[in-house]
Amino acid sequence: MSEQAIMTEEETVTTIDTEKGNFSYDTNYEYDAGIGLNEDVINYIVDVKDEDDWVRNFRLKALNVFNRKDMPTHWATKDLENIDFDVIRYYLSKGQTPSRSWDDVPDEVKETFERLGIPEQERKFLAGVEAQFDSEASYSRMKEDLEKEGVIFVGSTEGLKEHPEIFRKFFGKVIPTNDNKFAALNSAVFSGGSFIYVPPGVKVSQPLQAYFRINAENFGQFERTLIIADEGAELTYMEGCTAPKFETATLHSAVVELVALKNAKIQYITVQNWSNNVFNLVTKRAIAEEGAEVKWIDCNIGSRLTMKYPGVVLNGEGARGEVLSIALANDGQHQDTGAKMIHRANNTSSNIISKSISIGEGRSTYRGQVHIPDHLKNCKNNTECDALLINTNSRTDTFPAITVRGDGNSVQHEASVSKVSAEQIFYMMQRGLSEGEAMSLSVNGFVNDLVKYFPMEYSVELKRLIDLEMEGSVG
Amino acid sequence: MPIGPIGDNGLFDQFIASHSGENAWIEKRRKAAWNQFHELPMPRKKDESWRFASRLAFEFNDFKLVEQPDATTIGKVVERSNLNSSALARLVFADNYLVHEDPLSMDLQTKGVVFESFDQAVQKHGGLLEQYLFREEAHLGSEKFVALNTALSNCGGVVYVPKGVVVDQPLLVYHWATKENVAVFPHTLIIAEEGASVNVIDVYQSLDSDAPAFCAASGNIYAEANAQVMRKCVQNWNQSTISFQNDATAVKKDGVTKTLAVNLGSKRARFENQVRMAEPGSHATLYSLTVAQGDQEFDQRTYQSHDAPNAVSDLLYKNALLDNSRTIFSGMINVAKDAQHTDAYQTNRNLLLSPEADANSLPGLEIQANDVKCSHGATTGQLDPDELFYMMQRGIHKRTAQQLMVFGFFEEVIEKFDNEEIKNNVRELVQSKFHL
Amino acid sequence: MSNQIEIKNLNVSIADKPILKDFSLELPRGEVHALMGPNGTGKSTLAKVIAGHEDYEVESGEILVDGTNILGMEPDEIGRLGVFLAFQYPMEIPGVTIANFIRAALQARQEEGENFDAPAYYRELYDKMDLLKMDRKFTSRSINEGFSGGEKKRCEILQMAMLNPTYGIMDETDSGLDIDALKIVSNGVNLMRNENRGILVITHYQRLLDYIIPDKVHVMWDGKIVKTGDKELAKELEAKGYNWVKNELAVA
């Protein structure tokens, strides 16, 4: 087949959804903390949110830690130096109380989420939805029967106000403020995010969903999510994120803390599709107590730079932790992702499967940490990292760190790098597929054994996103 | 040769004065290195290239250059320098002094093969060595120790094999430490010209079983087009020795190098090994086996640099850990943009034989070319209880079964030695470390 | 009676789940018994328990080998006592060659200070390998590593032939074998039949018993032997299926 023919065929491929998240509305914000970061900004946030003094102190201390800590460029990419903290707006909202009905949501916000398909998904398969527009949730609603069972699913602003006794007990306990520079930044200016509490024995069968939307330019979103599954409770939480593509870089720096008490199960699913000018620097960690299970499913498709290493602290005997991640790095993108498994009790097991695809000049990096100290017995970790490089200028790095001591503990780590073979593509094209389609099929095949663990709706979404990314990546 | 503590400027000046016969370029490199040694800070735990390593707690001035060993000592070390009886030639160094030499046959000498002690070689072949000696830059963390070796080294084997010449049996070099607190600086340089072939064995050994000593060794291998170089190192210092070894290998078009390291000795041993696939079709294998016992710490850092296409590199590092010992394996495969069709592998396997032992693994890949086959694997585990049961069912005593399994674990590396006598000697050395 | 394996009222569980329930069996020297039963009925557990595997908890009962109670003994002691287990899934042991392995097993049976006759050992090893149609290059290969299913099973028979046990327990030795391999393996077992050796053939299928003709056939169900007969029982079982036994039990 001639190159010309390939090009033509490619152009006819539908482009309807590539730019799905790339729109924004001119919005009048009632609350705006202004540009730059200082104590005044923090006091403004505390005041408009009407927070207690302990929160104010927590935030101010965190600002101090943030200012004191160096950028982690001694191990991470120098691109971090391009973030200008002085030009960012740290708090923007139209009010602090989310609506319980889409009808009450301001028009342009409602339209935003309608274009992204959120109300439709809610009707179809979700147990609850929270939609955050810049700094605060605009909409938050959960099915009534869950409310009756004592499940709490609200924005974290509301959670902090309405349920301080549970909130404060776990807040900042999984990820301390000084964990890293960006966790400190979040601790200083956090706003929005979800607060979930599932009472003992309650199993939430349908997913709870949060949707994070950045609308404004030069804005930083710093949501803070805290999820607690009490003994024997189960839940699945899904988050999606998009932003329009602005001229200047946007910052998203979330902190997500999960607490799975005895025999609880938490599944946390992310499909991150920020526009590729977003610095996405997120700290996510869970504590799993005795017999508990935490599974992170993490798909990173968008952003300019993502640095995210979901972790599980396996704190109780028999706890299980899992990270399944897929990263897709296209031109101008760096997906620096990975996983942390900290074993702290006997008979704990962890599993990490990471698949990355680098397209064009995209770069994907895996960083991992597995730690099994000497007083533990019968702990197991399995890590698999596979990287697929599409073009000659694509790049991938793998940096795991594994420490094992103790009795009967074992780990295995494997990583491999491959490319889509030319013969494979030729074979498919001979059967009549375009090169783009063949490439998509190969890439989907590469991630398929991982995607099968995802909930159906998300695997379909992911497949669609991969198809879109693969378009135009060939030739 | 001067005598005195190794951190001392006066000692270095005397060293330079006593080596006035060396070419000017060597002196220049030594002086620059000496300055660098002093300027560079002692590596710290928080340095990324020293991740997981325990703190370096020693003073350079605790170790010194010493006088030549006496005749009785020389007699002893020469007699014990016997890993391989079929070696074509042998050099025995003790405390940095050449104390014995079994030279090459006249035939090989006439063909232009050089196998001489560092001192003799730089005097006689200075011009030839200029483009090779002290040329490799260290970048895996031990820059300070490499600089020290460059400044103060005057022992070790220099091997040069001219175009097309095949040296088919091993050349054997022994490095002994015989005195308390001695510092030794062996430097190995192997140059195989186009189509040449050579096989060198370095053995590092202490005479006394517990006299403290310090070693900063360097080894550089240059394999030109189609050359074949095999180098084996047996590091068997006593367990009071602190040792650093920094090896760098460059492989040219269709050249083949194979390095095999057996690490048994030292209180703490840092071993850095970098190989550069400089031209298309080059092929390098890096094997290592380590038995760590007591409080030993073995710190291994490797770098497989693929600068050219169609090259193959394969690394296999196996560690067995007893008692409270520690191992660190940190390996990196780097594939440059244009190094398409690279085949690079890296495997680290750790066998924990004690619950107090500590194995750390940092395998790494940096890949910038897409049409490559690269993989790394790291496993850490214990002897498999099902395998043990199987062997015991056959009536084999538990300890024997464990021992067989440990040897089985190492056999994958030992079988890469091409000579039965060396294989058996290595097996014996390994065995002597087990009290199973 | 002392020249036999005698299992009396054995109760065994794994993680509190009972597997063998009041199991009894006598296997005299000179006889070949077949133990048949559907999957999951406890056949392999029995084999492992006789061999002294630590994962199984023996709650009550006895296993006497020539009059010696072996419960609580280490696996290697039981092995040296003359009990050989041919594993259903033989282990792969990297780096340990067949020759060294069998040699170590034979040496473990020698008296302290006794010399090992290496040339005689290799003569015998090669003879037996020829008998089992095993290539001599196998001796220098690691045990079972990269072996096909048939090669692994032949390697088990080779070990049994070399170690010359008083009792052989063949755990599903026929599984995964094609008909040629099955004949070779059966032939090997048949050559080892004699009045001083008892053999227990554990199998799911009657097929193997066309080649190794048993003196007795036991049918196992839910942790114990429910039926014992001669070789015809195996054929009947094959024809009627295990449900036949189940139904009969239900009636009784």
* Percent share of chain B, pLDDT over 70: 100
- Is a pLDDT exceeding 70 seen at residue A470? yes
State the Cα–Cα distance between residues C142 and C93, nearest whole angstrom. 6
A408-430 confidence digits (pLDDT tens): 888 888 888 888 776 777 777 77
Instruction: State how far residue C245 is from chain B, nearest Cα, in angstroms.
Output: 33
Q: Which residues share a beta bridge with C18?
A: C13
Q: Model confidence at A474, in pLDDT bands (50, 70, 90)?
A: low
Q: Model confidence at A242, in pLDDT bands (50, 70, 90)?
A: confident
Mean pLDDT of chain A: 86
- Is a pLDDT exceeding 50 seen at residue A2? no
Partners for C (CB, 8 Å, 3+ pairs)? B
Q: From C54, which residue of chain B is nearest by alpha-carbon distance? A: B389
- Minimum-distance CB partner of B364 among A399, A405, A409: A399
Q: Whose CA is closest to A465, among A308, A270, A255, A311?
A: A270
A411/B376 touch (CB, cutoff 8 Å), yes or no: no
H or E segment at A107? helix A107-115
Q: How many CB pairs under 8 A join A and B?
A: 125
How high is the pLDDT of residue C252? 58
A80-107 confidence digits (pLDDT tens): 999 999 999 999 988 888 888 888 888 8
Partners for A (CB, 8 Å, 3+ pairs)? B
- Is a pLDDT exceeding 50 seen at residue A1? no
Mean pLDDT, residues B101-115: 96
State the Cα–Cα distance between residues A213 and A21, nearest whole angstrom. 9
Boundary residue ending a domain (B246, B279, B312): B279
Q: Model confidence at A450, in pLDDT bands (50, 70, 90)?
A: confident
Report, at the CATH architecture level, how domain C4-91+165-251 is classified.
3-Layer(aba) Sandwich (3.40)
How high is the pLDDT of residue A472? 61
How high is the pLDDT of residue C139? 86
How high is the pLDDT of residue A12? 29
| Residues of chain A positioned with their CB less than 8 A from the CB of B357 | 405
Q: Model confidence at A7, in pLDDT bands (50, 70, 90)?
A: very low
Q: Whose CA is closest to C27, among C169, C222, C156, C160?
A: C169
Distances (CA, A) of A30 to A136, A194, B222: 12, 22, 70
C139-160 confidence digits (pLDDT tens): 888 888 888 888 899 999 999 9
- Is a pLDDT exceeding 60 seen at residue A43? yes
The burial class, CB within 10 Å (0-12 / 13-18 / 19+), for B403 is: middle
- A123 and B CB contact within 8 Å: no
* Percent share of chain C, pLDDT over 90: 52
Task: Specify if B319 maps to a domain.
Answer: no
Q: Whose CA is closest to C97, among C87, C109, C105?
A: C105
The burial class, CB within 10 Å (0-12 / 13-18 / 19+), for A1 is: exposed
Q: Model confidence at A316, in pLDDT bands (50, 70, 90)?
A: very high
C161-194 confidence digits (pLDDT tens): 999 999 999 999 888 788 888 888 899 899 999 9
Interface test with A, best of B304, B380, B386 (most A CBs within 10 A): B380
The structure tokens listed for C43 are: 């056949």
DSSP code for C76: H
- Is a pLDDT exceeding 60 seen at residue C45? yes
Return the number of other C-beta atoms located less than 10 Å from residue A342's C-beta.
19
How high is the pLDDT of residue A14? 28
DSSP code for B134: T
- Minimum-distance CB partner of B412 among C54, C79, C94: C94
The burial class, CB within 10 Å (0-12 / 13-18 / 19+), for B395 is: buried
- B357 and A CB contact within 8 Å: yes
- Is a pLDDT exceeding 90 seen at residue A261? yes
The structure tokens listed for B163 are: 């175009």
Do B248 and B123 share a structural domain?
yes
| Residues of chain B positioned with their CB less than 8 A from the CB of A394 | 368, 370
- Is a pLDDT exceeding 90 seen at residue A73? no
Helix (H, G, I), strand (E, B), or coil: what is residue A421? coil
Mean pLDDT, residues C31-43: 91
Q: From B374, which residue of chain A is nearest by alpha-carbon distance? A: A417
Number of H helices, E strands in chain C: 8, 10
The structure tokens listed for A335 are: 């997906």
Boundary residue ending a domain (B226, B253, B279): B279
Helix (H, G, I), strand (E, B), or coil: what is residue C141? coil
- B373 and A CB contact within 8 Å: yes
B354-378 confidence digits (pLDDT tens): 889 999 999 888 998 888 888 888 9
Q: Which residues share a beta bridge with B327?
A: B298, B359
- Is a pLDDT exceeding 90 seen at residue B255? yes
CB contact burial B116-128 (16+ within 10 A = b; e otherwise)? bbbbebbeeebee
- Is a pLDDT exceeding 70 seen at residue B134? yes
Supply the ipTM of this predicted assembly: 0.83
Q: Domain range for residue B151?
A: 4-279
A415/B362 touch (CB, cutoff 8 Å), yes or no: no
- Minimum-distance CB partner of B387 among C79, C85, C91: C91
How high is the pLDDT of residue C123? 93
B4-55 confidence digits (pLDDT tens): 999 999 999 999 999 988 889 999 999 999 999 999 999 998 888 999 999 9
| Residues of chain C positioned with their CB less than 8 A from the CB of B430 | none
How high is the pLDDT of residue C202? 95
Do B398 and B273 share a structural domain?
no
Query: CB under 8 Å to A168, separation ≥6 — which residues?
Result: A54
Boundary residue ending a domain (B219, B252, B279): B279
Q: Which range has the worst mean pLDDT, A210-219, A458-467, B57-66, C63-72?
A: A458-467
* Percent share of chain A, pLDDT over 70: 94
How high is the pLDDT of residue C1? 55
CA dihedral sign, ordered B367, B370, B371, B377: positive
How high is the pLDDT of residue C68? 94
Is B in contact with A (3 or more beta carbon pairs below 8 Å)?
Answer: yes
How high is the pLDDT of residue B199? 95
- Minimum-distance CB partner of B371 among A75, A398, A419: A419
How high is the pLDDT of residue A217? 84
Q: Which residues share a beta bridge with A308?
A: A282, A337
Task: Specify if B412 maps to a domain.
Answer: yes
Is C in contact with A (3 or more beta carbon pairs below 8 Å)?
Answer: no
C101/B404 touch (CB, cutoff 8 Å), yes or no: yes
How high is the pLDDT of residue B81? 94
Higher pLDDT, A98 or A313: A313
DSSP code for B263: E
Q: Which range has the worst mean pLDDT, A256-260, A450-454, C85-89?
A: A450-454
- Is a pLDDT exceeding 60 seen at residue A13? no
How high is the pLDDT of residue C238? 84
| Amino acid code (one letter) for B101 | E
- B378 and A CB contact within 8 Å: yes
Q: Whose CA is closest to C153, among C136, C137, C133, C167?
A: C133
State the Cα–Cα distance between residues A328 and A390, nearest whole angstrom. 11
DSSP A326-381: EEEE-TT-EEEEEEEEEE-STT-EEEEEEEEEE-TT-EEEEEEEEEE-TT-BS-EE
State the Cα–Cα distance between residues B347 and B196, nearest whole angstrom. 29
Do B162 and B24 share a structural domain?
yes
How high is the pLDDT of residue C157? 93
The structure tokens listed for A274 are: 């920020």
- Is a pLDDT exceeding 50 seen at residue B135? yes
| Amino acid code (one letter) for B345 | Y
Task: Specify if B331 maps to a domain.
Answer: no
How high is the pLDDT of residue B435? 60
How high is the pLDDT of residue B193? 97
| Amino acid code (one letter) for B169 | Q
| Amino acid code (one letter) for C245 | V
- B386 and A CB contact within 8 Å: no
State the residue for tokens 């062996």. B186
- Minimum-distance CB partner of A398 among B361, B365, B379: B365
Task: Specify if B409 maps to a domain.
Answer: yes
Do B225 and B104 share a structural domain?
yes
A189-218 confidence digits (pLDDT tens): 999 999 999 999 999 988 898 888 888 888
Domain extents for chain C?
A: 4-91+165-251
**Max intra-chain CA distance, chain B:** 69
Q: Directed axis angle between helix C179-192 and helix C149-163, to 10°?
A: 10
How high is the pLDDT of residue C131? 86
